[in-house]
Amino acid sequence: MIRPAFSQPTRSADAQASRGASFRPLQFHLLSFEGPDRYASAGGIATRVSGLATAFANAGFDTHLWFVGDPELPAYERRGQLRLHRWCQWISRYHPGGVYDGEEGKRQDYQLKKRL
Q: Is the pTM of this model over 0.85?
A: no
Of 10-19, 20-29, 64-73, give the range with the top mean pLDDT.
64-73
Residue ranges of alpha helices (H) inside the chain are 11-18, 44-58, 89-92, 103-115
- Provide the percentage of residues in the chain whose pLDDT is more than 90: 66
Computed over every residue of the chain, the mean pLDDT equals 83
Of 2-6, 18-22, 67-71, give the range with the top mean pLDDT.
67-71
Question: Rounded to whole angstroms, how far apart are CA atoms 46 and 40?
Answer: 7
DSSP category for residue 24: -
pLDDT confidence of residue 115:
56
